[in-house]
Amino acid sequence: MDPEKVNYHYTDDLPTKPLPPDTRVLVTGANGYVGRRLVPELLFRGYRVRCMLRTQTVAPILKHPNLEYVYADGRNPEQLDRAMEGMEVAYYLMHSLRLDKREFSGAEKEVARNFVQAANKWELERIVYLGGLGETSKEISPHLSSRIEVGAILSEARCTVVRVRAAIILGTGSASYELIKSLVLHHRWIPFLSEFNSRCQPIAVRDVIKYLVGLMELPDLETGKYPIGGQDVLTYRELVKRFAKIMKRKIGFIDVGWVPVPVFIMIRIFGWWMHLISPVSVNIVTLLLESLRTDVVCPDNYVRELIPFEPLDFNTAVIWALEKEKNRKVFSHWTDVPPENMGDLMPICEYESTDFVIDEHSIDIPEEPQKVFDIVCRIGGKHGWLHGNFLWEIRGWIDRLLGGVGLHRGRRDDQELRLGDSVDFWRVEILEPPRELLLRAELMSPGFSWLQFSLVPLSSGGTRLTLKAHFIPYRFWGQLYWGFMQSFHTYIFKGMLNYFYRQAVNADK
């Protein structure tokens, strides 16, 4: 089948019957990769949906008369209690994967206990939890172990708890998909450990959404585990080979098991290496690598019998994902959620003006604001930063070496921006066409940074484009950092403005 001819809604052909109209559904982790795709399907089937977002700096997903937003941190019982009020069903999609592995397990269990407490208070009817495949054993990774422990805690709730368990989720913008794609694109020879050659059962994101909705709608389910997977069971080596073949890339594997280094150290080395060549953070990469040592395969076809439809095979899932990416139809991306250390930052308007140091540059362009704004909104990603790209690259590599996101994160879409999108190591904080674009930095630096593009129409019919760098320094090191960076700003920013001028003036030629 052609992915462009497939029904827009994943659940169009779902065999289950929707619950009564206006059933109230809470979606936690709504701004995450799966949450962003689940919410439209729930609205399509007539439910009243409440999206729980962690902070108000996270952009709303979409607008709909049956959709509302609530801001709550799962580690705050009072906020979680308010979010749960009046709900009948709740999806538990929260995940602390971006935290350091020493922190995320404790944080996840704390959130799960708070969730159970709120669910019991408001007499929830059903919880649907998306966790990971894999059984408890001595070899299980901390990531999978934490997922299983969270499921066990949630099962203590008085309502029905459906523990949906999946392995690798394949789709445009998923962390696993981006990691494998980067590996295949950037390397002819890939170092490999025999410990990484366990089996997995990858599943397309569209099939995950179908199962999540279907298992909410099925009557008379009991609390328990509901494993889901795609058609193929592959070793990780086979998985990477198939991905490379689809992308028409030649790859080979180099066994490094002979290196006299403990496996946990090798995993850390691999994590840093893959972090440097992929857009995925070192914490996420390391946790995913640790999971490769465990088989993650469905023990039976029980869920497929409950909800009878044919899931996609691996090749089709990857081909469709690549086609969606090519046609700029990436609805959600793993970068939609800010890093844990950046998620609680206040928006720029909340800070006192005296906190800032500012560097400002302007240029007058003889074109209308909308035309100029559209050109400005194409910065970053594959387009680069237009002037002094080598300096941007150096700053990006420094950030990567410090464990930050760097420039490899790119953009969800090379032509279009939406509020909350990541743009390399920036995030869109304000998007008001054709007047203002404000980017907030998610860099490792001794202070907080913003890059602002303001457009004002001129009486002559042109546009004044102003570029401002805002910085709130953190004590002495912040001041020193700003002084050093300022020496490059004039060169970079004036070059960028001149580029915008040329692009706007020559666009129709």
Give the chain's residues under pLDDT 70.
1-8, 56-61, 96-105, 135-143, 277-279, 328-355, 508-509
How many Å apart are CA 306 and CA 137, to the nearest integer?
28
Task: State both tokens at 287.
Answer: 């946790």
pLDDT in tens, 105-138: 678 889 999 999 999 999 999 999 998 887 645 4
CB 402 within 8 A of CB 443: no
Numbers of helices and strands, H then E, in the chain: 14, 19
Residues 6+ apart with CB under 8 A from 198: 235, 236, 292, 293, 294, 295, 296
Task: State both tokens at 18.
Answer: 């929707």
Count of other CB atoms within 10 angstroms of residue 446 = 15
CB 280 within 8 A of CB 175: yes
pLDDT the model gives residue 383: 86
- Encode 360-423 in three state secondary structure: EEEEEECCCHHHHHHHHCCCCHHHCCCCCHHHHHHHHHHHHHCCCCCCCCCECCCCCCCCCCEE
pLDDT the model gives residue 179: 82
CB 295 within 8 A of CB 134: yes
Task: State both tokens at 465.
Answer: 């484009």
Q: What is the CA radius of gyration of the chain?
A: 24
pLDDT the model gives residue 337: 64
How many Å apart are CA 221 and CA 461, to the nearest integer?
65
CA-based end-to-end distance of the chain: 40
The SS3 call for residue 340 is coil
pLDDT the model gives residue 50: 96
Identify the structural domains of the chain with CATH numbers, from first to last: 3-336 (3.40.50.720), 348-506 (3.30.530.20)
pLDDT in tens, 293-310: 788 889 888 999 999 999
The SS3 call for residue 256 is coil
Count of other CB atoms within 10 angstroms of residue 212 = 28
How many Å apart are CA 129 and CA 141, to the nearest integer?
19
Residues 6+ apart with CB under 8 A from 57: 338, 343, 344, 345, 346, 347, 429
Q: Of 363, 365, 412, 407, whose CA–CA distance to 385 is shortest?
A: 407
